Amino acid sequence: MHSSLLIWFTHIYTEERQVRMADLVILFLTLFPGLCIADLSGNLALGAAAVQSSTYDYLGAAQNGIDGNRQSNYFLGSCTHTAGGSNPWWRVDLKKAHKITRVRITNRGDCCAERLIGAQIRIGNSLAYNGNSNQLVRIIGYIQPGGTQTFDFTPVKGRYVNIFLPGLNKYLTLCEVEVFAD
Ligand SMILES: [Ca+2]
């Protein structure tokens, strides 16, 4: 009798906690619509396939760069992260060539914003040098921690979009990469 009462109370308590958590999530989403949500309309990178030169740990998968979430706290699992080394890169395969006019990049927010300085946006159809010899479109400067920067340019045709970070002892982290075409 006592144990079944305890189970019943535990059940009620757990349910109540779950309801409260659901309420909090709804409240949060109502107050901050689109806070971390990437641009979902016309973003060619959504649902595409991403790879990178290496992966730092289980939180830093290449696919996190195109998961539709700009969440910039690395520890929440929506950013990419290569292991340290020379010339790290990340690449998204759009499956066919598009006339790309815009790339939007969200930088890591919880630390290390300066690591992305000097990274190159490269677009093209070649996989030579892992795609890092495709046309250089832009060089990324400083993006503030957790900031999202839009790079607009005259159309460049390509199936692959690379973010290539030349240099020694580099880590490449991207919290979201959005790609748009004409
Ligand atoms: Ca993300």
Q: Taking the domains of the chain in order of start, what are their residue ranges?
A: 1-33, 49-181
Distance 134 CA to ligand 1 centre (A): 24
Residue among 80, 152, 65, 71 nearest 115 (CA): 80
How many other CB atoms are there within 10 angstroms of residue 99's CB atom? 12
Distance 168 CA to ligand 1 centre (A): 25
Distance 159 CA to ligand 1 centre (A): 20
**Predicted structure pTM score:** 0.81
Distance 153 CA to ligand 1 centre (A): 23
For 125-149, letters b (16+ CB in 10 Å) and e give eeeeebbbebeebbebeebeebbbb
Measured torsion, CA atoms of residues 83, 179, 150, 146, in degrees rounded to the nearest 10: -40
Tokens matching residue 177? 């990469």
User: Residue 66 and residue 56: Cα distance in Å, rounded?
Assistant: 17
> pLDDT tens for residues 141-164?
999 999 999 999 999 999 999 999
Of the listed ranges 4-18, 29-43, 84-98, 139-153, the least confidently predicted one is: 4-18
Q: The CATH number of 49-181 is which of 3.90.870.10, 2.60.120.260, 3.40.50.800, 3.40.50.1370?
A: 2.60.120.260
Distance 136 CA to ligand 1 centre (A): 23
Distance 126 CA to ligand 1 centre (A): 25
User: Residue 137 and residue 104: Cα distance in Å, rounded?
Assistant: 13
Backbone angles phi, psi at 65, to 5 degrees: -75, -15
Distance 68 CA to ligand 1 centre (A): 6
Question: With contact defined as beta carbons under 8 Å apart, do 69 and 149 qualify?
Answer: no
> pLDDT tens for residues 26-57?
445 444 544 688 777 899 999 899 999 999 99
* Burial class of residue 27 in the structure, from the number of CB atoms within 10 Å of its CB (0-12 exposed, 13-18 middle, 19+ buried): exposed
